[in-house]
Amino acid sequence: MGYLSSRQWATKQDMVDHIIKNFKLVDHSIRGGVLYGLYPYTTEFRPAFGIVICLIEKFGEGEYGYKDMGESDYPYYFDCPERILAKSTLPDTSGWRKACRELRAAKLLAFKPKHGLIIEWQRSELPDWCEGERLFRVTHVPRHPRGYWLYTSVNKPTIAYRITKRLLTSLNPYIRVGV
């Protein structure tokens, strides 16, 4: 299916207001070019809620459009906030909500170095170059055009290494002791 667009939606906010009114959204969130909304519907027994996903697009000067789909369509957009996921009462037959939560957990677990951070590696056996050390201080070295991260042993400052992203993900530090 295509996009629904109108010159009546001169701004993104005009179109978002239309979507909120049209779907009678009780909660919504916009992440980039995607709107996640919680809409009410009625079953035989009680009120229920589902999630609509709208892809937002600017087609030209003063014209916006959107393409809507339901969570059961398994849209390939997984940045839906937990507050909206938790309120949906539809059965997760497509597995989309589960995928949203799994990807969020993976992002939360992804290690992002920070200057001055002291970390402890999760693995009991580290590569030989670590010489048995497990606590390292993270330092950003800006000399390279993009800079790089240096990991220096807290107990033995002579042990310092630049660790590649690939090795960093396999080591997976698990304790962020402090900054």
Q: What is the pLDDT of residue 85?
A: 94
Is the overall model pTM greater than 0.75, yes or no? no
Please say whether the beta carbons of 30 and 80 come within 8 A. no
Query: Which of 140, 165, 167 is closest to 151 using CA atoms?
Result: 140
pLDDT (tens digit per residue) in 51-91: 999 999 988 888 889 999 999 888 888 889 999 999 999 88
DSSP designation for 73: G
Inform me whether the pLDDT recorded for 150 exceeds 60: yes
Domain with CATH 3.30.310 in the chain: 4-109
The CATH topology of domain 4-109 is: TATA-Binding Protein (3.30.310)
Helices and strands, counts by H and E, the chain: 4, 10
Biggest alpha carbon distance in the chain? 70
